[in-house]
Amino acid sequence: MAINTNLKPGPIGVFDSGYGGLTILSEIKELMPQYDYIYLGDNARAPYGNKSYDLICDFTLQAVKWFFAQGCQLVIIACNTASAKALRRLQQQYLPTIDPHKRLLGVIRPTAIAIASLSKNGHVAVLGTEATIKSKLYEEEMNNLHPHLKLTSEACPMWVPLVENLEYDKPGADYFVKQHLTKILEKDNKIDTIILGCTHYPLLLKKIKQYIPDNITVISQGKYIAESLKDYMNRHPEMDSICSKNGKRLYYTTDSAEKFKDIASAFLKETIEVEKIKLGKDDELV
Ligand code: DGL
């Protein structure tokens, strides 16, 4: 459906269960600084990665409704878990009923598209939350896009809590980081590219590099999501025209604003203002 260009321009929404989506936002705003962005972290209910399909869908729907109420025409689900579990359902069932002009974009397809150009020998690994890995969406996208690649995956359920609790650079993190990297290399010892399929994981990059051979490249998604969004805007001038461009950024969380402000600076390397909001519980999908 063509987008009605008489719609009021609004900021681009960026959503994650917590802080992880900030690794995506920082790349997006660097590449496209002219746009306005609203970030929401559902920190009060993170992590999403060990939650059920219905719960992840309900939480994501509540967040998307909130973004639309703020005037966003386009929302990036900057969370692999919500992209894997909720995006398709919301795009197909929810969006057409509420406002067919609005758009939701996820992070898995753009990452899967980028993978082919990154691996030299075609042996690729993806690390993610339990929900993302169990969804097999990376496999599905890769089979469609690059059937010649061998994809091996591994769920790392402790990694998001390590990041959310600011333990990512502490000695305690080493055990869990090493454990999953050892496992994935046992599954395929020819892997030359590891995709961090969770937006929290780039914070663990330094430790990850300690436990893999030098010839393996570790890929964070942010750069690819930003490039893909830029390409999307070029291909969809009707959407570009309803995304406001005053270089404004607003940050919201469902948990403590003070805590978010402190931790977010580690991700963004800048000081920000944060507001706490509540997400409704009465919007469940039927
Ligand atoms: N950043 C989310 C992702 O990319 C983390 C999910 C979680 O809350 O467990 O999957």
243 is a catalytic site residue: no
Same domain, 195 and 121: yes
Residue 18 is assigned to a structural domain of this protein: yes
pLDDT, position 1: 52
Q: Is residue 3 part of a domain?
A: no
pLDDT at 286: 39
Statement to judge: residues 128 and 217 lie in one domain: yes
Mean pLDDT of 135-158: 95
Confirm or reject: Cβ of 14 under 6 Å from ligand 1: no
Question: What's the pLDDT score for residue 229?
Answer: 98
How many other C-beta atoms can be found within 10 angstroms of the C-beta atom of residue 215? 9
129 lines ligand 1 (CB under 6 A): yes
Residues 66 and 37 in one domain: yes
Residue found by looking up tokens 């399909």 in the block: 53
Ligand 1 pocket: which of 160, 204, 221, 255 to mutate (most atoms <8 Å of CB)? 160
16 CB near ligand 1 (under 6 Å):
yes
Say if CB 43 and CB 19 are below 8 A apart: yes
Count of domains forming the chain: 2
CA-CA distances (angstroms) from residue 253 to 33, 228, 284?
22, 26, 20
Same domain (yes/no): 227, 217: no
Q: Over 60: is that where the pLDDT of 72 sits?
A: yes
* pLDDT at residue 116, as a whole number: 81
Asked whether the beta carbons of 49 and 198 are under 8 A apart, the reply is: yes
Please state, in angstroms and rounded to a whole number, the distance separating the CA atoms of residues 169 and 107.
Answer: 25
Give the pLDDT confidence score for residue 136 in this predicted structure. Answer: 97
Catalytic residue status for 198 = yes
Tokens of 72: 């966003």
Q: What is the CATH number of the domain that holds 123?
A: 3.40.50.1860
Taking residues 85-96, what's their average pLDDT?
93
Among protein residues, the one whose CA lies closest to atom 9 of ligand 1: 49
Nearest to 176 by CA among 166, 187, 164, 167: 167
Phi, psi at 39, each rounded to 5°: -105, 135
Specify whether the backbone of 108 is left (phi greater than 0), alpha (psi in -120 to 50) or beta: alpha
Task: Give tens-digit pLDDT for 218-237.
Answer: 999 999 999 999 999 999 99
- 6 pLDDT more than 80: no
Task: Classify residue 4: in a domain, yes or no.
Answer: no
Asked, for residue 5, whether it belongs to a domain, the answer is: no
d(CA 151, CA 147): 9
Q: Which one of the listed residues 72, 79, 156, 243 is annotated catalytic?
A: 79
Of 267 and 29, more confident: 29
Of 189, 221, 253, which residue is a domain's last? 221
Domain that holds residue 173: 109-221
**Residue at which a domain ends, from 221, 242, 266:** 221
Ligand 1 pocket test: which of 60, 199, 220 has the largest number of ligand atoms within 8 Å of its C-beta? 199
- How many other C-beta atoms are found inside a 10 Å radius of the C-beta of residue 155? 21
- Please write the tens of the pLDDT for every residue from 13-56: 999 999 999 999 999 999 999 999 999 999 999 999 999 999 99
- 77 lies in a domain? yes
